[in-house]
Amino acid sequence: MDLKIALVACGALLLTVGCNKEEKASGGAVGAATGAATAAAGGGDDPAAYYKMKCAVCHGDTGGGDGPGGSALTPKPRNFTDAAWQGSAKDEDIKKSIIEGGAAVGKSAAMPGNPDLRGKPALADALVKHIRAMKK
């Protein structure tokens, strides 16, 4: 295996494992610390800042599914700019996959959940709108 591919794969694996640890600890100190770090980093209740911090690494800054963390994933991260997908996806499924992860809606388990959003329904709804605005 090429060293560059191995490094990208390792990085994607670490990202997934790290996110899954957060999910397991969402009710405890790690989940609370992550939420505090999100707010301190400017994520707070701003959907664009939250997206940039948590989603863009795989989905890309503009939602094209071309983020550096997603390059080694199969299947590739969702391309939010795809009009056909935008027309077929339901808001409630997008929101559920954001909060609970891809497996919760029958998609890739590599898409980690963001359980810190369970207590922030307005932010989760705003993230859905942010993703909807990426349609081309």
Collect contacts of 81-86 with beta carbons under 8 A, ≥24 apart: 81/134, 81/135, 81/136, 82/135, 82/136, 83/135, 83/136, 86/132, 86/135
Nearest to 116 by CA among 2, 23, 40: 23
**Could you identify the residue written with the tokens 């997206």?**
51
Please give the Cα distance from 40 to 46 (Å, whole number).
12
pLDDT at residue 108 in the model = 95
19-65 pLDDT, tens per residue? 443 333 333 333 444 444 444 444 578 999 999 999 999 999 999 99
Q: Contact 116/38 with Cβ under 8 angstroms?
A: yes
64-103 pLDDT, tens per residue? 999 999 999 999 999 999 999 999 999 999 999 999 999 9
